Amino acid sequence: MATHTGGLIAERPTGRAGAAVRTTRLVRSFGDRDVLRELDLTLGQGEFTALLGRSGSGKSTLLRAVARLDHGVAGSGELDVPERVSLSFQDSRLLPWLRVLDNVVLGVRGRDAKERGAKALAEVGLEGRERSWPHELSGGEQQRAALARALVRDPELLLADEPFGALDALTRIRMHDLLRELYERHRPAVLLVTHDVDEAVELADRVLVLEDGRIAVDLAIDLPTPRSRRDPRFQQYRDTLLTALGVDQHDASADPVHPEPHPADAPAGQPHKEKDPHDPQA
């Protein structure tokens, strides 16, 4: 057991039985404010989980704690995480002075690193762009390269903080398909922080809502993939989560923080949201 630098969180990277991540009574405080309050969370190996919550509820704080990036903040509890963790953020964080392939394999050991990097780039649809500079890639392509960089490390756990938040709606849909496809092929555990309820229901098999420093909702999404946003069951999950987030569903988009209609929600000539006759609130 190792001690988390600068805090009181005890890390136990071994001895996980069926769980990729386990936090026990995790506390994170900034000044006298507890953002995470004795939070218990277990993520199964190979499980795709999305984390929702109002702005400022502590989603990024939890993700940073799980990523072991959070040093120097008062905290306590136990944190049990795997060795190989990859991270992905809204900003692709590619280094501008390195070519795309060199970015992908930065820090990767082994003689075959470049070969593996090129394979990962091909998997995300960037074959032939190995020698491009990051600024020569579009925003979506930069996020693809970031996914390749995550993938090449063969992660047991992928932590993604709003990775598609800066992309336009159509590119975001393509990235959803790609992420789910990569997940099904490689099966890391995934913790995806998002503001977008539809994104959560479309991609994850389990959706958590963080509120008052704890997991307030833990919802299994029992729908086959690929998922249609027009499936009434999809809309029921969506409504359940919007209610949990305290969003007025009659005038809300699926993104309570960035209200923007999703093109997949409203095909030409159809309303943005069909009412569910089984939903008493509809």
Ligand X SMILES: Nc1ncnc2c1ncn2[C@@H]1O[C@H](COP(=O)(O)OP(=O)(O)OP(=O)(O)O)[C@@H](O)[C@H]1O
Which residues between 235 and 254 bind ligand X (CB under 6 A)? none
Instruction: Write the burial class of residue 102 (CB in 10 Å: 0-12 exposed, 13-18 middle, 19+ buried).
Output: middle
What are the DSSP calls for 60-79, one per residue?
A: HHHHHHHTT---SSEEEEEE
CB of 10 to ligand X, least distance (A): 21
CB of residue 195 to ligand X, shortest distance in Å: 6
Q: Residues 4-43: x/- map of binding to ligand X (CB under 6 A)?
A: --------------------------x----x--------
User: Among the candidate windows 7-15, 59-67, 100-108, 215-223, which touches ligand X by CB under 6 A?
Assistant: 59-67
One of 14, 15, 17, 55 touching ligand X (CB under 6 A): 55
- Say which amino acid occupies 223: L
The least distance separating ligand X from the CB of residue 45, rounded to whole angstroms, comes to 25
Shortest distance, CB of residue 274 to ligand X, whole angstroms? 28
Which one of residues 49, 61, 103, 143 is an interface residue with ligand X (CB under 6 A)?
Answer: 61
Among 9, 26, 47, 57, binds ligand X (CB under 6 A): 57
Indicate whether 60 belongs to the interface with ligand X (CB under 6 A). Answer: yes
Which of 169, 126, 175, 172 lies closest to 149, judged by CA?
126
Among 4, 59, 116, 180, binds ligand X (CB under 6 A): 59
Question: Whose Cβ is closer to ligand X: residue 61's or residue 92's?
Answer: 61
CB of 161 to ligand X, least distance (A): 8
Instruction: Return the number of the residue (62 or 158) whose C-beta is nearest ligand X.
Output: 62
Determine the Cα–Cα distance for residues 131 and 65; give it in Å rounded to an integer. 34
Q: How far apart are CA 174 and CA 162, in angstroms?
A: 15
Q: What does the alpha-carbon distance between residue 84 and residue 86 come to, in Å, rounded to a whole number?
A: 7
Piece of 58-66, 95-103, 106-114, 261-269 that binds ligand X (CB under 6 A)? 58-66
How many other CB atoms sit within 10 Å of the CB of residue 179?
24
**How near is the Cβ of 56 to ligand X at its closest, in Å?**
4
What distances in angstroms separate CA 212 from CA 22, 54, 64, 157, 209, one per listed residue? 19, 10, 17, 25, 10
Nearest to 193 by CA among 55, 1, 28, 93: 55
Please provide the distance, in angstroms rounded to a whole number, between the alpha carbons at the two ends of the chain: 51
Instruction: Quote the tokens at residue 115.
Output: 């070969």
Binding site for ligand X (CB under 6 A): 30, 35, 53, 55-61
